[in-house]
């Protein structure tokens, strides 16, 4: 006679969701400060809106509007979180842009991607899951 063992994560579902949300909160807290990391190359000096003159490497913080425009994470389902920046220039900074009228191009300085790559998300998730167990 065959013997079967059924395995289910259902008993851990609540802990899994809570650990995921805690991990997302860690990401939300790390992102604003990441705008201050001087890691982005630039081929010239620039005078920023705040009056500061910067060269290379540089951070992406100028007036702070972009970092402050980060919205709280939105959950479309229990395993997917979306963080959005509402500043008009968010796409130009993070993804790069070409301005035809100004004959200027901006290289991508993808703070969200770089921050996520620097974080050990699996380890953070496991840590939070263990704390909840």
For 21-31, the pLDDT digits (tens) are 999 999 999 99
Whether pLDDT at 50 is above 90? no
Using left for φ > 0, alpha for ψ between -120 and 50, and beta otherwise, residue 128 falls in: alpha
| Distance, CA of 10 to chain centre | 29
Compute the average pLDDT of residues 56-78: 87
Q: Domain ranges for the chain, please list them.
A: 11-132
| 3 state DSSP class of 99 | strand
Residue with tokens 């709280």: 72
Can you give the pTM of this predicted structure? 0.81
pLDDT at 58 (0 to 100) = 73
Contact between 133 and 15 (Cβ < 8 Å)? yes
pLDDT at 102 (0 to 100) = 66
């Amino acid at each position: 006679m065959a013997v079967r063992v059924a395995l289910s994560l259902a008993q851990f579902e609540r802990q899994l969701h809570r650990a995921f949300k805690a991990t997302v909160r860690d990401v939300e807290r790390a992102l604003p400060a990441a705008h201050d990391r001087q890691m982005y190359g630039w081929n010239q000096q620039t005078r920023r809106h705040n009056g500061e003159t910067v060269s290379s490497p540089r951070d992406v913080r100028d007036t702070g509007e972009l970092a402050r425009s980060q919205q709280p994470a939105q959950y479309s389902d229990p395993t997917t979180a979306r963080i959005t920046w509402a500043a008009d220039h968010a796409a130009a900074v993070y993804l790069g842009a070409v301005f035809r009228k100004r004959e200027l191009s901006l290289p991508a300085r993808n703070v969200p991607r770089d921050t996520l790559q620097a974080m050990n998300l699996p380890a953070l998730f496991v840590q939070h899951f263990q704390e909840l167990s």
